[in-house]
A = this chain, B = another copy of it.
Amino acid sequence: MVEKIYITYNDVHKLCQESAVKILSDFEPNLMIAIGGGGYVPARILRSFLKRAGSPNIPIQAIGLSLYEQLPEMDPKSGTSTPGAVEQIGHRVTRTQWLDLSSLGGMENLVGKRILIVDEVDDTRTTLEYAVKELEKDVEAVRQKLGSTEETRFAIFVLHNKDKPKKGTLPSSIMTEHNYHASRTVDDVWICYPWEALDIEEHDELARKQTNTSGSAN
């Protein structure tokens, strides 16, 4: 049986609060991109803690990505791995919403920025790989159009990273201490986030009782 860990809202809040300190000192983002729906809650909380006194809020753009894990990863005919599976990763992720910077100076405005991509969990890494690749592609296109040499930097924040073999990969420029921020690294467990709880009191009670407190902010 897969072990379950229960995360309360206050855990999520404290994880964001704790990580914000490091994100501010390591990366200082000027734009957040929240991957919906899992990234919505952490992104909103994080915004409170990334705000510097006297400065405006860091803008959040939401993107929507759906992962179709049910699609075959093996060639149904030969039974072997499909060649070019890495290139096919895009086929397993569907965009439901993408950036809209038309009121923020257009996509050109991404050039030279420090962009923090926010999701709740780094599980198979497939969604994150897709998001980073597509965003880098978009930025590269406008950078070339502008003839700019300014660099755009990406970083990632997730509440939990699952310590497991990943299907997706992230550029080595992101997988650094300063650019990859997971509040907690956990085993390959079933993470029960509070926004999915049908009985939030019982959920909190289970969180209090869990003996394995990895993943908890306490």
Instruction: Say whether A96 faces chain B, with CB atoms less than 8 Å apart.
Output: yes
Which chain A residues (40-96) contact chain B, with CB distance < 8 Å?
A: 40-41, 43-45, 47-48, 57, 59-62, 64, 94-96
Per the bound structure, the CA–CA distance linking A192 and B37 in Å amounts to: 23
List the B side residues contacting A96 at CB < 8 Å: 59, 61, 103-104
Instruction: Say whether A177 faces chain B, with CB atoms less than 8 Å apart.
Output: no
Q: Do the beta carbons of A60 and B47 come within 8 Å of each other?
A: no
List the B side residues contacting A59 at CB < 8 Å: 64, 96
Q: Which of B8, B14, B38, B62 contacts A97 (CB 8 A)?
A: B62
Per the bound structure, the CA–CA distance linking A72 and B45 in Å amounts to: 31
| Chain A interfacial positions (CB closer than 8 Å to B) | 8-10, 13-14, 17, 34, 36-38, 40-41, 43-45, 47-48, 57, 59-62, 64, 94-104, 194-198, 200-201, 204
